[in-house]
Structure 1
Amino acid sequence: MPNGAEVPTEPTRRTFAKYGGTVALGGLLAGCAGGEAESNPAGGDGGETESAGSEPSDSDDSSADDAGDGSYTASISPVGEVTFESPPETVFTRLTHHADMAFALGRSDGITAMHAPDYYDGLWNQFVERLPGVSLDWSGLYSSWQPDKEKLYELDSDVHLADPAWITRQDAWGREDVDEIAERVSPWFGNSLSDRHQEPPEGWADGYQYYGLWAQFELVAEAFRERERYEALAAVREDLLATVDDGLPSESERPTAIMVAAADIEEIYAYTLSNPGFLTSHTRPLGPRDAFEGSVESGTVVDFETILEADPEVILYLGGFEPGTDMAGRRTAFEEDPVGSEVTAVKNGRIHPQGARYQGPVLNLFQLEMTAKQLYPDAFGEWPRYEEGPYPEIPEDERLFDRQRVADVINGNL
């Protein structure tokens, strides 16, 4: 902490947070090589809520109940039930699916930390550009990929919108550390291992539940007392998915596709399109055929020969919207390689940019629209060739969701 300040030994003003379920006070890139998350920032809706290693749970964690004194409760796995005295305003996040949730609920200005803030500020603003009257500024925030406990005291956030089970994977963190922060600063309220249904670390597996992206967003909205905002955005998504369902061609007529990411074209990482977890929440509903036919696990390094053997009809390029990415140069690298140039997607000019896999609800809407057009232009309208700049300006009659409605919800004009 600054100026050598000591960690407080007495509870702070937010010890009103009370935990049930898994946590009890006092008891206290998916990675490039398949590790815990995006080591390269270029980086899903799991569907039903379910417990780790079990069938889907019938429990409903989405209620936020009044306690009669102005306080209320909300619940999420692996934290359990949390009591809030008032809706959080300042928000610590680690991964961008949580930062996007806070943004969607009108708390963007209250975010105190996130992973790779300058990178994701640039990436998200490529999409926010198309939301009238909406602004976002994450630049210069504390980078929380490996958070420092004393820094969390200094930030003094109203809530830690992050998964405590994942935090304890960090070398400097144990169960007693996350419980200390929950007791003396503010509660944890987040779930990240739902990304690809990762195995919870020791001590957290019992009862750990996996959530789809929008199922988790609903729980977060309850914690922030923003049910109306959640329902409005969920309605936009439902309309978008209904449009997709109506237009999807039969399975046999769908293209084969792969998703890749590469900061250096010499090291290409492949990612799956339909496995469980919220990382595929924008591709799984669209049902493209996996060109690798399940032979390549997410985060596997592949070369041009492996890609040519799979011969996808569409290549989805993660991080292609990041302002520093030379999308034209990425295409050229494929086109000028004697092997890469033989891939069907390359021959037909179907290498398309993607945003991020750790998407929240706002980015998910754009990526569902974008990917639908990239995969099925005959059904949903042609995707314009993209090389740089913000998300393309799609003609209004070809948009798959209402930008103004989303902007109004974020700005609180319900």
Structure 2
Amino acid sequence: MDSHRNGRPSRRQFVATGIALGGATLAGCASDNDGNGGNGNGNGGTDGNGDEQSSTDGESGSDGSYTASMAPVGEVEFDSVPENLFVTYPQYADMAVALGHGEGVNTLFSTEMAGTTMNKFYEHLEGVSFDWEGLPNPLEDGLTKEQLYELDSDVHFLDPSYPVKHNDDWDESDIDEIASALGPWFGNFHSGVHSEPADAYADDYEYYTLWEMFERVAAVFQERERYEELKAIHDDLIARIESNLPPEEERPTAARVTLGDGQFFTYHLNTPGFWQAETRPLGADDALTDHDWSGDWGTIDYETMLEEDPDVILHLWGITSRYSIDNVRETLADHPVGSDLTAVQNDRVVAGGMRYQGPIMNLFQLEMTAKQLYPEQFGEWPGYEPGQPYPDIPSDEQLFDREQVASIVRGEF
């Protein structure tokens, strides 16, 4: 392994353990350049709450090195905690913040939308913030090796399957080159909806829940204790939600969508994958359960939405800067078919969060979704005003303790 330069490792050694590394549209994903290439239908796998997890901390070497593991890259060896962090999707940025390493993030996908949304939640965590301004979007013009060499990152929080599958000019040899010359890849994209990875990684691919991924990222930073403390808060929140859910026959029907030009981009509520980490535990009746699509999301027209006529419309990205939930409601109310929707007439078109959510974001989005689906059980949702932080909720109506989360992130535990 190469020696350190200026106090940080110049390279990271990749260690393969049984895994051979070598050899969209804006409305649909609310992003600048995100692939919709997944072929999975999201109907397989297990529940995604992450309650059953095994330790992922690797063994430490006598020289201070240690390992962390995530499919499809397998086991990766580090000689010290990485400081310069290549990040694409904001779940990894949120994980870095949660583990006390947010200052190391050097890139961020859909930078302004992701950065401002993260800080809308952090507004309620004293001493916690994320400095996103000035970070480049690594996927805006397509991922290039030149860009990665310029950044000289210690670790790349991106699934190697992603560039191989979504970029014609990337193959396994390019992945190997970056891992060897700069730093390892460490990410898992296709766990979002259990979609299909690139062929080169299919045999060894594994699907993780959000919190299983967080555990593995915590191992990269040697922050096991922070992870366990936050996981305990998440487990308590899930237990609180599950113990207070109404009987299934009394739950509302809901559709999780993004409003497009004359159509809805659609997602499921209860299928496996970390994109559903804030809806699946709520167990609402998915109004679109009989609809399927070959990619990571689907589309339906107004007439089909009216046929399903959900009690609640959860507008994905509704809390982000990309959409004004007030404008969404107005557009639906002014449409000759949309105005007939029960959710429109009953004022139950509500702002959802981001599907690219890390652990802190997940806690807030679980609370937000619980209150919007089940106000009688979890308290009234105060509403979200576009452009503003996550709304203030009285302490006795909060579903988790903000100060407890903030103190963990600050390292005071």
- The Cα shift of 1:102 comes to 1.4
Does the 8 Å contact 1:314/1:350 carry over to 2? Answer: yes
Q: CA deviation at 1:104?
A: 1.3
- The residue number in structure 1 matching 2:396 is 397
Q: What residue in structure 2 maps to residue 162 of structure 1?
A: 158
Q: 1:172 to 1:258 in 2, by over 3 A?
A: same
State the superposition RMSD in angstroms: 2.5
Matching residue's letter, 2:76: V
Q: Which runs of 5+ in 1 are unaligned?
A: 1-11, 50-55
Q: Quote the offset at 1:361 in angstroms.
A: 0.7
Percent identity of equivalent pairs: 46
Q: Give the C-alpha shift of residue 48 in structure 1.
A: 6.4
Paired AA for residue 130 in structure 1: H
**Which runs of at least 4 in structure 1 moved beyond 4 Å after TM superposition?**
27-33, 37-41, 46-49, 58-61
**In 1, Cα distance between the equivalents of 2:169 and 2:94?**
26
Letter of the 2:168 partner, please give it. Answer: D
Which residue pairs with 1:6 in the alignment?
Answer: none
In the alignment, what sits opposite 2:4? none
Per-residue CA deviations over 1:211-267 (Å, capped at 9, x if unaligned) read 0110111011011100011001101101101110111001000000001113x4534
Aligned to 1:245: 242
Q: Specify whether residues 15 and 327 from structure 1 end up closer, same or farther in structure 2 by C-alpha distance, changes over 3 A only.
A: closer
Decide whether the 8 Å contact of 1:32 with 1:40 is kept in 2: no
Q: Are the aligned partners of 1:28 and 1:179 in contact in 2 as well (CA < 8 Å)? A: no
Correspondent of 2:212 among 197, 211, 215? 215
CA–CA distance in 1 between the matches of 2:53 and 2:322? 44
State the one-letter code of the partner of 1:183: S
Instruction: Please report the TM-score for the alignment, with normalisation by the length of structure 1.
Output: 0.88
User: If the length of structure 2 is used for normalisation, what is the TM-score?
Assistant: 0.88
**Alpha-carbon spacing, 1:288–1:39, altered in 2? closer, same or farther (3 Å):** farther
| Kept in 1: contact 2:19–2:73 (CA 8 A) | yes
Q: Distance in 1 between matches of 2:322 and 2:195?
A: 30
Q: Would you say the 8 A contact 2:318–2:351 is kept in 1?
A: yes
Pick one of 224, 235, 250 that aligns with 2:221: 224
Distance in 2 of aligned mates of 1:30 and 1:70: 45
Name the CA distance, whole Å, in 2 between partners of 1:406 and 1:191.
Answer: 25
> Does 1:149 pair with 2:145?
yes
Q: 1:120 to 1:348 in 2, by over 3 A?
A: same
Deviations 1:1-27 (A, max 9, x none): xxxxxxxxxxx8314343333145xx5
Q: Which residues in structure 2 correspond to 1:242-391 (within 5 Å)? A: 242-262=239-259, 264-297=260-293, 299-388=297-386, 389-391=388-390
Cα distance in 1 between the residues matched to 2:369 and 2:252: 12
Which residue identity lines up with residue 340 of structure 1 in the other structure? G
Between 210-219 and 122-131, the greater mean CA deviation after superposition: 122-131
Please list every run of 5 or more consecutive structure 2 residues that lacks an aligned counterpart in the other structure. 1-8, 37-41
CA drift of 1:398 comes to 0.5
After alignment, is 371-380 or 269-278 more displaced?
A: 269-278
SS at match of 1:386: coil
SS at structure 2 position matched to 1:168: helix
3-state SS of the aligned residue for 2:363? helix
2:237 & 2:187 partners in 1: Cα distance? 26
| 1:331–1:66 CA distance, 2 compared to 1 (3 A) | same
Read off the aligned partner of 2:374 and give its amino acid letter.
Y
- Aligned partners of 2:368 and 2:255: how far apart in 1? 15
The answer for the alignment partner of 2:56 in structure 1 is 62
Mapped partners of 2:302, 2:103: distance in 1: 43
Amino acid at match of 2:345: K
Superposition deviation, residue 390 in structure 1? 1.0
Q: Distance in 1 between matches of 2:292 and 2:202?
A: 27
Contact kept in structure 1, 2:218 and 2:227, CA below 8 Å:
yes
